[in-house]
Amino acid sequence: MDILRYPARGVWSTLISRALASQASQVTDVVSAIMDDVALRGDTALREYEERFTGAHAESLAVGKDEIERAASLISVELRDAIESAARNIAAFHSAEMPLPVEVETAPGVVCMQRPVAIERVGLYIPGGNSPLFSTVLMLAVPAKIAGCPDIELCTPADADGSIHPAILYAAKVAGVDRIFRTGGAQAIAAMTFGTATVPRVDKIFGPGNRYVMEAKQQAALHGCAIDMPAGPSEVLVVADDSADPVFVASDFLSQAEHGPDSQSILLTTSPRLIDCLPAIIDEMLSRLPRRDMMMKSLGHSRLILMHDDAEMMEFSNLYAPEHLILNHRDADRLCTMVRNAGSVFVGPWSPESAGDYASGTNHTLPTSGYARAYSGVNIDSFMRKITFQKLTREGIAGIAPVVIAMAEAESLDAHALAAKVRTTTY
């Protein structure tokens, strides 16, 4: 961890830099070949890649209803209850986000409307590996269902024995996923982009993954399939004053660090005492946690920064545009009003990032790498389009025709003017 005391503004641009792995062109080429192959050979290619990459010999790509039903009995009652409880909170918050139709008569006889309409078919990607990300199943499928998407597909890789973690299957069932497919990696993204005999082509792909999955999503976007957002390593920025409990701050730092070796944690504080005592507390906590080596890597590009005052901290935070922003500060509510760029904000000492990662109700699919400057996290809008309608009466078009004709002719678009003229004069 770098410790910086009152860094000059001239070095801020360095301090907001991310530990971004530059994308090797080799990844681009490998993914491009997989995309082309799946587009061409469909299910046959999918099965071959699954066997090559995971060792799984999937008899059936589609997961059967019986396998999904059986999942409930394979996880603890406690975990089932937790999944249901988290799903309820996520549903409560995302239901409140639902946009309403808009209708305005902008001029006499000119009624304009905006109506939210759910995307027809969405594809969710859930990575495999040691940590089954069933929480991400909830974060994507619950809002998709609330938005009203009629078709929610999910792809996730099977283990070598062909099975999928039962917590993923149970979360998918609770959230209302329509179909689950046993495929992962770039080939799963390719399948949802182009469609195969088994996996349907979707309109938009959501979800996290490794660099191959991320590259595949970017290529999917160039092939006309929308994606949730660009992605980079996860990050947290903690703003703390001398009221902050160092143990809380340390645990938030480590939560972030365990996301992966590229994760970044930044502390901004006005408290010299906090800076001084934090490293020892983190070291002690680290010694008791299993993923120690990976966390050490992540902490290697983390920063503890001492600053003059709240205004300076919030200015830096807005420049950094963190995915997660924790305001562990006695005036946290006031600082909230100064937030311009962030993904999700955790207000006050009792709001750890892990609350939002799982159960508070907000979404944990958030913009990293400074994308919060222009992107929102996943929310109900992510699963809808807002279609506009306009209905003019005969008087309505007569009223605005002079405006349409003047502007169209000044833009040299005479047929545009004509379409207004034929409706308002005898042609």
Catalytic residues: 323-324
DSSP 203: S
Does position 82 bind a copy of itself by CB under 8 A?
A: yes
Does position 117 bind a copy of itself by CB under 8 A?
A: yes
Say if CB 335 and CB 329 are below 8 A apart: yes
Does position 230 bind a copy of itself by CB under 8 A?
A: yes
Judged by CB, which is closer to a copy of itself: 153, or 353?
353
Residues 12-41 that bind a copy of itself (CB under 8 A): none
Q: Give the ranges where 347-413 is alpha helix by DSSP (H).
A: 353-358, 394-410
What distance in Å separates the CA atoms of residue 39 and residue 356, rounded to the nearest whole number? Answer: 37
* Six-digit token string for 234: 């996860």
* Six-digit token string for 180: 């689950």
Does position 248 bind a copy of itself by CB under 8 A?
A: yes
Does position 265 bind a copy of itself by CB under 8 A?
A: no
CB of 85 to a copy of itself, least distance (A): 5
Residues 96-115 that bind a copy of itself (CB under 8 A): 96-97, 99, 102-104, 106-107, 110, 112, 114
Options 30-38, 151-159, 173-181, 408-416: segment touching a copy of itself (CB under 8 A): 408-416
The helix/strand/coil state of 326 is: strand
Does position 55 bind a copy of itself by CB under 8 A?
A: no
Judged by CB, which is closer to a copy of itself: 40, or 117?
117
Options 40-48, 156-164, 218-226, 304-312: segment touching a copy of itself (CB under 8 A): 218-226
| Strands 324-328, 151-156: pairing kind | unpaired
CB of 6 to a copy of itself, least distance (A): 25
* Six-digit token string for 142: 């619950």
Cα–Cα nearest to 55, from 185, 167, 166 = 185
Judged by CB, which is closer to a copy of itself: 6, or 73?
73
Residue 358 burial (CB count, 10 A): 17
Judged by CB, which is closer to a copy of itself: 65, or 413?
413
Say if CB 302 and CB 257 are below 8 A apart: yes
Say if CB 50 and CB 183 are below 8 A apart: yes
